[in-house]
Amino acid sequence: MKAIVPREIIDAKIIKDFVVEITFDNLQKREVDLRPFLGKGVFKSLLKQRNFRRMKLDAELGTICWPSGADIAPDRLYSAS
């Protein structure tokens, strides 16, 4: 049976430092360490915890994002976990 690849994130919460618990629309929950995504371009400012903690779920985009304009595609997060 082929695994159902998620299209969207339906819930996300920071659980420690740069680790986020993500619930995908296929109802799988995964803990994802986001450090590998941080440090360059729009993600550079997110290395500061106070900026990283401003993460929110954007229901329209179906993924997590930050006020800096940074966001990460759900499929990238799914495969990173």
pLDDT (tens digit per residue) in 1-54 = 556 666 899 999 999 999 999 999 999 999 999 999 999 999 999 999 999 999
20 with 37: CB under 8 angstroms?
no
Question: What is the SS3 assignment for 22-37?
Answer: EEECCCCEEEEECHHH
pLDDT at 64 over 70: yes
Q: What is the pLDDT of residue 19?
A: 98
**3-class DSSP assignment, residue 20:** strand
* pLDDT of 65 over the 90 cut: yes
What values do phi and psi take at 25, rounded to 5?
Answer: -70, -5
pLDDT number for residue 7:
86
All domains of the chain in start order, with CATH: 9-80 (3.30.2020.10)
